[in-house]
Amino acid sequence: MAVEWSGLGPELLLTLERTGRGPLGAQMQEQVRDAIRSGRLAAGERLPSSRALAQELGVSRGLVIDTYQQLEAEGYLTTHAGSATRVAPTQQQLTAPTALQSAPPRLDIDFFPSLPDLASFPIRDWTWALTEAARRAPTAAADYGDPAGLEALRTVIASYLRRVRGAATDAQHIVVCGGFTQGIGLVLAALRAAGMTRLAVEDPGHPDSAVMGVRAGLEPVPVPVDERGVVVAALRASGARAVVLTPAHQTPTGVVLASERRQELVAWAEECDGLIIEDDYDAEFRYDRQPVGAMQGLAPERVVNVGTVSKSLAPTLRLGWVVCPTWLVPPVAREKQLSDRGSPGLDQLALATLIESGRFDRHLRRMRGVYGSRRQTLVDALAEHAPHLRLTGLAAGFHAVAHLSRGTEADVIAAAGERSIGLYGMRRYRLDGSAEPPALVLGFGNVSERAIRRGVAAIADLL
């Protein structure tokens, strides 16, 4: 579909040479034809008015009118008195055909893990925060600014993390980033530049951790996870000096890193001059257990805390933060500067305004209730339709792990897909792709209670 430009029409890039390339009218005709054939101008797209184009090119209006009339006669354009000149709707672009990738079929119910409730994004609060931020922003806020992020936001984030996550930090130790993926990428690039070569990752764990390690030039080494979190003895044996963890709510098992394991990890980092990278992705959402503080508060010079608003607000905001040890702040800030010169300033000010106003906390309290109800609905539906199924990982976040009989993971997922129900297995979280022991990782964050009940009922016989 062509873009419908307002005003006198869009500017049009035409380059006329006054000497050596023939008459100006012929040059104009040739270049407009080429723009249509190549797809630069789409069928139905509006061209500038003859007066505007003549003024832009420094030629007479009559020359432009003659060009438009000639191309209309050839079938490239359509012109009508009192209306805009447009590319002919039937004009075929002479570009090589490209194979269109068919979109995957839309699922009726999708239990995709890691997604928050997208419909609950507090759009009114965010609009208010943007308006307030724009109204109060100093002129200097329109500049590139500090690549580590605006001090106003870093100060608010530091205060929030101290209050809610038990962190030990201040604004000078925080680098604002574009979500978790960029944040961990900045850290790993800085570690590789400092001479590290291996990266320990939880197994099973977030699949992006190993991928990001490879992209940074690090060798990913799997470290097993048991019912008390990452196995520190295996970490010691791995030879790695950096590890990526999800201690508050392990991805995907949902276990909480035990207190003695936390102490063992800090001791390991001290022994090998290592670094713990803490993915603090959904610690705000807990249900039947006490809150667990961030590991960063135990050892601020041995732990990097990477946080984001992707789960608490929405992924589309692309805002997060890296809480760095003192020595790591300059290289991470430098990587951020080389990456994109800094995150959008107005969005940073809006997030600071949202948190300071108390509306962010209010939204989190409301969403804990929403996710808590969906969690209970999932538990009740599975108890009704598959009472033998063992569920774990439900103490926090918005996904659960359903343990299956051996050899059934792929079959259950495929059969559910045929019924338009999206299911996801533990296999995608294991570094070697193993499907044993089989389990489903059931996300309920972006699924309504009614859809949860319908979805579980639809696959009851498969479970």
Taking CA atoms, 165 is separated from 250, 272, 283, 309, in Å, by 16, 26, 8, 14
Q: Are 355 and 267 in contact (CB under 8 A)?
A: no
Buried b (16+ CB within 10 A) or exposed e, 23-51: ebbebbbebbbebbeeeebebbbbbbbbe
* Average pLDDT estimate for 148-153: 95
Within a domain: 430: yes
- One domain for residues 270 and 171: yes
CATH number at residue 407: 3.90.1150.10
Within a domain: 48: yes
- One domain for residues 56 and 190: no
- One domain for residues 288 and 323: yes
**How far is residue 188's CA from residue 197's CA, in Å, rounded to a whole number?**
10
Beta bridge partners of 78: 86
Check whether 99 has a pLDDT greater than 80.
no
- One domain for residues 72 and 146: no
Within a domain: 103: no
CATH number at residue 309: 3.40.640.10
Task: Domain count for the chain, please give it.
Answer: 3
Within a domain: 386: yes
pLDDT of residue 2: 55
338 or 25, greater pLDDT: 338
- One domain for residues 9 and 42: yes
3-state helix, strand, coil in the chain (%, to 5): 45, 15, 40
Within a domain: 40: yes
Check whether 362 has a pLDDT greater than 50.
yes
Quick: pLDDT tens for 363-406.
999 999 999 999 999 999 999 999 999 999 888 889 999 999 88
pLDDT of residue 96: 45
Buried b (16+ CB within 10 A) or exposed e, 395-415: bbbbbbbbebeeebbeebbee
Quick: pLDDT tens for 180-195.
999 999 999 999 999 9
Quick: pLDDT tens for 394-437.
888 899 999 998 878 999 999 999 999 999 999 999 988 888 89
Average pLDDT, the chain: 89
**How far is residue 102's CA from residue 303's CA, in Å, rounded to a whole number?**
44
- One domain for residues 349 and 368: no
Which residue segment(s) compose the domain that 300 sits in? 124-358
Packed helices 345-356 and 123-136: angle between N→C axes, nearest 10 degrees: 110
Taking CA atoms, 16 is separated from 21, 30, 59, 68, 313, in Å, by 8, 11, 10, 16, 51
